[in-house]
Structures are given as structure tokens and as C-alpha cells.
Amino acid sequence: MYNARVFSILGNSKTTGLMPRLGDMIALRSFKHILDILFCRKPIVFLAFNFFIIFFSGLSYGQTQKDEPVAIVLSRAYSMVRTNPSDAAKLFEHAIELDPSNRETRQALGFVYIALADYERALQQFSAVQDIRRSDTLQLQIGYTLLALYRTNEAYKIFHELTGSLNPDIREKAEKQLAYESSASQSSSSTQTVTPHDWLTRIYSASYYDTRWETSFFNLTAEEGYTLPSARTVSLYGVLSLSADTRSSAGLVPEIFSDNTLLMGVGIRVRPFPGFSLSAQQGVGFDLIGRKDIDFSRPDFRLVTVYGWGIYAPYTFHPEARFPFFPTFDLYGSVGAYSRYKNTIGYLQIKGGVRVMEVSRTVLDIYAKANFARDAAINLFENEPSVKPKEYYNNLDEFGVGARVTPNVDWGLYLVGEYLRGLYSIEAMVPSSRDRYYDSFRVYLIFDRTF
């Protein structure tokens, strides 16, 4: 049995069609004799021999797979994405085993799973990437994946959060998805229900010290909003805000450096296109320092338009320090009519800079900026024109530089230092006790999160 098998394997004249040489025949007979002794007379040796070959072949294959460079595995995987996504997925999975923290590999595997309609596994990979480093772009993809899994409430909660993204493209896509959901729900049902993604909470705090006034200022705003399901560009909100400083004092001649007011109000906000909003808000303001020249509580109605646009640095998680020097730009402007101030005031801020450094989840940005403020000394909410002159501190130009440290991109916390050189634009309105030109160094602690 074994003689015939081995002879066939090694090649006889009947199998190969070649006549073996005499030396080959002698060697072959000797080899056959050894195998006959080992395998025919000692079956246990035959079994041990086969185990030895299989075991060490497996070790060799496993070691080869383990030692295969990740770059080679990924190269093979990417080359098969279009032609054979199933095998490509297996190669990406193997690459992740070799390097679990590779964000790009996990993201690529997620998109391969999308192509295979395996949305649950795709969601797992995208979520793992977000744990490594959060990204609005990938968060948008997670929203789409949740829709594919029919988890609509979770998906539209994400889309609603992304309407506050700093990236205008992300904002536009999220708003389009919400608009589509609104029209779809209108066509499928005549009644609307409140779902979790209709509600939005924002907390904003900016505390800073200003050498210009030699005092500290505190600003806190909490806003709870509800987006109308029938019109995704319209939202209702309630607001509670606090403005104070450490130097203002009441008395017969008050010395005021900030508003020093607790404000409660409700409003409606319209966002007809990305970056632009129009708000109408009615509230009441309460004096915090006991001023004698004003009432303790005063009505506060304001009509404010805001526009913002920018170019923002992309962020990539990496444990080592990198210096991307990615350019950034930010434009912000607002014009508002305020009944409590009996004035109409406009602000414009232009800021350009670079992302200097990234390390882990911490980033550093530096920039140059220009601030402009003007008031019209017009009260739009009274029948008679206001005779109040323009306020010198509402008419100024400032130019300077700053640096911002973001300790963790997921926290919404910022440490900012700025130096500004400013001037009051209406020289005749500047009190004699103040110079028209001034220097200001400001240190900010800012918290800004939307939930």
C-alpha cells in the first residue's frame, strides 16, 4: 500500500513518462525501504510524522501572517475593495488585529461593511473611530448608518446636533437631512410628535480679565431650544443669562463696566440659510448691584441678526506632537436693536490664523484679529427718536493677536490670551478722563457645549 503510494508521489515512468536513471532507482528503492519500515511496521511512527508536518506547517503559516507588515496587508485590502469587498474586509480585520488604534483602517473597514450592507458592523467600526478621535464628518456618516438600521430617533438627534457644526458643509448636509425628514413625516402623517432630536441645550460661559479696565468679567448663558418639526429652519427657545464684573458699583454716580444683569427670556429664531440667523426675544432684566438710577427690573426686547462663516482646521488624533500649520479664518457679524439699551448696535469680527500644534487631543491655534463696534443711538421701539447720544464705548476699532489652547477637543473648553490695540472712533465722545487710544491684554476661560 505505502510502496505504491510513495513511488507514485516521487515519480515513476508510468506517472511522469520519463525513464528513471539507475542512481535514482537505487536511491528510490532505499527511500521506499525506509518508509516501509517506518510506516508499515510502525504505524504510530506514521501518525507522529504526519502530526509533526502539520503542526510545524501551521506554526510557519501563522508566524508568516503575524510578521506580515501592516502596510502590505492594507495594500492588498485596498486593491480588493471594488472587486472583492468580502476578502477586503477580512484583510482590514487582520490589519486591525495588528494595529487596533489605526483610525484610518477602522474607517475604511466601516465603509467596506456599508458596501456589503452590514450596517451593524459598520456602526461598530465608526463608533470605535469616534472613541479614538471625534469628527463631525464621521458623526454625519454615523447618522446615515443609523438611518439604514431604522434607528431614526438616534440618527436625527445626531443631525440636529450637527446643525451647530463649525464646518459649513456638515451643517448644510445635516440641515438638508432634517428638511427631508420633515417633508417625509408630513406626507406620511398629519400629526407631529416630539422626538428627542427636536430639543437642543447650549451652555456658553466666557470669563476673562481685561487690563484695560483692570477687572474681571463673567458671562454665562444657558439656552434650551425646540426645533419645529414642520419647519426645521425655525426654533423656539428659552434663555437665562448672567453678566457681571468685579469692579462696577452703584450709588448716586454709578461706575459701570458691564451690564451686571440677570436676564430671563423666550424667543424665536429663524435660520433661512447656513450661517445666518434672525432672532426675536422678549425677556426681563434684573439689576444685580442695586443701582439707584434704574429700576430693579426692566423689560428687554431685542431683534438680532447674526452671520458667521469660517475655514476651520481639521483635527486628527495622534499621540505625538505635530505641527500642521493649517490656515484658519473666521468671520462674525451681528446687528441688534435692544429696547433696554435704547440703542441699535453692530459688531464685526475678522480673525485669521493657523493651527500651530496638535498632540493627542490638545491643539494650539494662533491668530490675528480685528474688532469693530458701532451704535446708531436709535431706539427702534419708541415712537419718538431717541435723543441719547452715541456711547463712546460702543464705537471702537481694535487690532491685535491671540493664542488659543484647546486642552481636549471633546470638552468644549478653551484657554485664550489676546493683546489688542484699540481706539474709540468718535473722538469728541471720549470722556476727558480716558485716552482715545488704549492697550488691552485679556485672558479668557471659555466653555461652549451643545447637547
pLDDT at residue number 151: 84
Grid cell 489688542 in the structure block, residue: 420
Contact 372, 394 (CB under 8 A): no
Per CATH, which fold does 196-450 belong to? Lipocalin (2.40.128)
pLDDT at residue number 351: 97
Q: Is 91 exposed, middle or buried (0-12, 13-18, 19+ CB in 10 A)?
A: buried
Name residues whose C-beta falls within 8 Å of residue 219's C-beta, 6 or more positions apart in sequence: 204, 205, 206, 207, 241, 242, 243
Split the chain (451 residues) into runs of 10 and give each run's mean pLDDT: 36 38 43 47 50 44 50 84 86 87 88 88 89 86 86 85 85 80 47 53 93 92 86 87 86 67 95 90 92 88 93 74 90 94 93 93 95 85 62 91 93 95 88 89 93 74
At residue 34, the pLDDT reads 46
Predicted confidence at residue 402, as pLDDT, reads 98
Q: pTM for this structure?
A: 0.57
Contact present, 122 and 144 (Cβ < 8 Å): no
Secondary structure (3-state) at 421? strand
The ranges assigned to domains in the chain are 2-67, 196-450
